[in-house]
């Protein structure tokens, strides 16, 4: 069984619509859609926003549904100047930018685990990066998303970035927030609100996982403009194509 998570319904509605759903279950006020996609056994759910919500959802997928792998898809704000709206960031590692138990423990390090960074699965990432590259470089994106929609958000030649994603219980939209994050994590590519929590749970349960983020904004004052429109017209279509093609290339 493969678990698929998005933080909000708009990020995974397209995936649910493509599934052959055999059952739904409500656990902890979340609806889990169980069925097949690309002939793979899957369970799909939206976690809600934030690290606690993501932790609850990931733990439920592992404990109740016995997932063997996990895919997280959604949007993020770019905080590296080379990361543009419409680009895709594939996490190689994740960290919590707002976690601080100093002076008891080093800043941003999780106590007792003694880890600041949680790595994604290299095998899943290899498959995922290959599929994303195909999506972007072979112009597949142009047959999947209209030119008008791409032009509306200024998306011309989106690219794949791989590296560090940071998470925190904050919507990042001010220069001071970005500056603070980059002081602690100069290599960070983008910021969001769930991925590092998912990563820690998967680490503790030994579940291979990947986190894929479409860049919806550049973490500035315009970050809230047309946010939902971007998700509906751009990122959920990115996510559907990428998730389907990952599933075509992995085992249950």
Residues tagged active-site? 11, 217
Distance, in Å, from the CA atom of 53 to the CA atom of 77, rounded to the nearest integer, reads: 19
- Long-range Cβ contacts of 233-236 (<8 Å, 24+ apart): 233/145, 233/149, 233/152, 233/153, 234/86, 234/145, 234/149, 234/150, 234/153, 234/155, 235/11, 235/74, 235/75, 236/10, 236/11, 236/12, 236/13, 236/14, 236/15
Got the DSSP string for 30-83? EEEEEEEETTEEEEEEE--SSHHHHHHHHHHHHHHH--SEEEEEEEEEE-STT-
Environment class of 3 (CB within 10 Å of its CB; exposed 0-12, middle 13-18, buried 19+): buried
Distance, in Å, from the CA atom of 190 to the CA atom of 50, rounded to the nearest integer, reads: 15
The first and second tokens of residue 83, run together, are 């990361």
Pairing state between β 69-78 and 188-192: antiparallel
Cα 68 from chain centre? 18
The first and second tokens of residue 105, run together, are 């423990």
The Cα angle at residue 92 between residues 238 and 33, in degrees rounded to 5: 45
């Amino acid at each position: 069984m493969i678990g698929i998570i998005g933080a909000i319904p708009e990020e995974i509605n397209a995936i649910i619509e493509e599934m052959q759903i055999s059952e739904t279950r409500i656990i902890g006020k979340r609806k889990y859609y169980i069925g097949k996609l690309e002939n793979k056994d899957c369970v799909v759910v939206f976690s809600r926003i934030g690290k606690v919500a993501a932790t609850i959802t990931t733990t439920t997928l592992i404990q109740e549904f016995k997932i063997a792998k996990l895919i997280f898809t959604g949007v993020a704000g770019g905080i590296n100047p080379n990361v543009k709206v419409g680009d895709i960031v594939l996490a190689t590692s994740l960290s919590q930018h707002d976690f601080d138990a100093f002076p008891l423990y080093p800043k941003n390090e999780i106590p007792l685990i003694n880890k600041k960074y949680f790595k994604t699965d290299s095998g899943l990432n290899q498959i995922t990066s290959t599929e994303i590259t195909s999506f972007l470089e072979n112009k597949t994106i142009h047959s999947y998303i209209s030119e008008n929609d791409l032009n509306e958000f200024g998306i011309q030649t989106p690219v794949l970035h791989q590296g560090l994603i940071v998470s925190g219980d904050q919507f990042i939209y001010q220069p001071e927030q970005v500056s603070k994050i980059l002081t602690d994590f100069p290599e960070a590519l983008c910021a969001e609100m769930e991925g590092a929590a998912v990563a820690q749970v998967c680490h503790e349960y030994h579940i291979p996982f990947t986190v894929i983020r479409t860049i919806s904004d550049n973490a500035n004052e315009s970050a809230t403009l047309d946010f939902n429109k971007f998700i509906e017209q751009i990122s959920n279509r990115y996510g559907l194509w990428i998730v389907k093609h990952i599933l075509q290339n992995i085992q249950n």
